[in-house]
Structure 1
Amino acid sequence: MIKSLTGLFVLICCHVYAQQEITEQELKQHIEYLTSDDLKGRYPGTPENDSIVNYLVEDFKSHGIQTLIQEFPAVMRKDSSSVTTWNVLGFLEGKDPLLKEEVVILGAHYDHLGTKGDHIYNGADDNASGTAALLEIAEKLKANEHLLQRSVIFIAFGAEEQGLLGSKFFVGNPIVPIKNIVLMLNMDMLGHLNEQKHVYMGGAGTFPGGVELMKNLGERLQLNPIVHAGSVGGSDHVSFYQKEISVLGLHTGGHEHYHQPTDTIEQLNIPGIVLTSNYIYQTLMEITSSDRKMEFIKQD
Structure 2
Amino acid sequence: MKKLALFSLIFSSYFSVFSQTEVTTSEIKNHIEFLISDKNQGRYPGGKANKRVVKYIKKEFKHVGLQAFNNNYKQVFKAKLRVEKGTDNAPEVNTSNVVGFIEGHDPLLKNEYIVLGAHYDHLGLGGPSSKSEKRGVVYHGADDNASGTAALLEIAEKLAANKDQLKRSVIFIAFGAEEQGLLGSKYFVENPLVPLSQIKLMINMDMVGRLNKNNHVYAGGAGTFNGGVEFMKVLGKSLGLNPIVHAGSVGGSDHVSFYKKNISVLGIHTGGHPQYHTPEDTLELINLEGEKLVCEYISQTILSKASTHNNIEFINQD
User: TM > 0.5 between the two?
Assistant: yes
Query: How much does 1:118 deviate?
Result: 3.2
Partner of 2:196: 178
Unaligned runs of 5+ in 2: 1-15, 84-88, 127-134
Query: How much does 1:278 deviate?
Result: 0.5
Partner of 2:280: 262
Partner of 1:10: none
Partner of 1:148: 166
Query: How much does 1:273 deviate?
Result: 0.4
Query: How much does 1:218 deviate?
Result: 0.4
Q: How does 1:93-172 map to 2 (within 5 A)?
A: 93-116=103-126, 117-172=135-190
Partner of 1:240: 258
Take 1:69 and 1:38, find their aligned partners in 2: how far apart are those partners?
21
Partner of 2:77: 72
Query: How much does 1:70 deviate?
Result: 0.2
Take 2:77 and 2:136, find their aligned partners in 1: how far apart are those partners?
29
Q: What CA deviation, in whole Å up to 9, does each residue of 1:201-244 have, x standing for no partner?
A: 11000000000110010011010000000000210000000000
Question: One-letter code of the match for 2:77?
Answer: F
Match of 1:210 among 195, 215, 228: 228
Take 2:211 and 2:316, find their aligned partners in 1: how far apart are those partners?
29
% same residue: 61
Query: How much does 1:275 deviate?
Result: 0.3
Q: Does 1:50 align with 2:51?
A: yes
Partner of 2:5: none
Question: One-letter code of the match for 2:103?
Answer: E
Q: Does 1:201 align with 2:201?
A: no
Partner of 2:86: none
Partner of 2:98: 88
Take 1:73 and 1:62, find their aligned partners in 2: how far apart are those partners?
27
Question: One-letter code of the match for 2:55?
Answer: N
Query: How much does 1:53 deviate?
Result: 0.4
Question: One-letter code of the match for 1:110?
Answer: Y
Question: One-letter code of the match for 1:62?
Answer: H
Query: How much does 1:124 deviate?
Result: 0.3
Count of residues in correspondence between the two structures: 285
Q: Which runs of 4+ in 1 moved over 6 A?
A: none
Take 1:64 and 1:206, find their aligned partners in 2: how far apart are those partners?
31
Take 1:201 and 1:146, find their aligned partners in 2: how far apart are those partners?
27
Unaligned runs of 5+ in 1: 1-15
Question: One-letter code of the match for 2:299?
Answer: Y
Question: One-letter code of the match for 2:123?
Answer: L
SS of the residue 1:249 aligns to? strand
CA RMSD of aligned residues (A): 1.2
Instruction: Return the structure number with greater strand share.
Output: 1
SS of the residue 2:21 aligns to? coil
Question: One-letter code of the match for 2:111?
Answer: E
TM-score in terms of structure 2 length: 0.88
SS of the residue 2:149 aligns to? helix
Partner of 2:60: 59
Q: What CA deviation, in whole Å up to 9, does each residue of 1:25-74 have, x standing for no partner?
A: 00000000001011110000121000000000101111121132100000
Higher Cα radius of gyration? 2
Question: One-letter code of the match for 1:230?
Answer: G
Instruction: Return the structure number with greater helix share.
Output: 2
Query: How much does 1:198 deviate?
Result: 0.4
SS of the residue 1:272 aligns to? helix
Between 1:138-147 and 1:17-26, the stretch displaced more is 17-26
TM-score in terms of structure 1 length: 0.93
Question: One-letter code of the match for 1:154?
Answer: F
Match of 2:314 among 284, 296, 299: 296
Take 2:258 and 2:136, find their aligned partners in 1: how far apart are those partners?
36
Question: One-letter code of the match for 1:259?
Answer: H
Take 2:56 and 2:136, find their aligned partners in 1: how far apart are those partners?
26
Partner of 2:129: none
Q: How does 1:214-229 map to 2 (within 5 A)?
A: 214-229=232-247
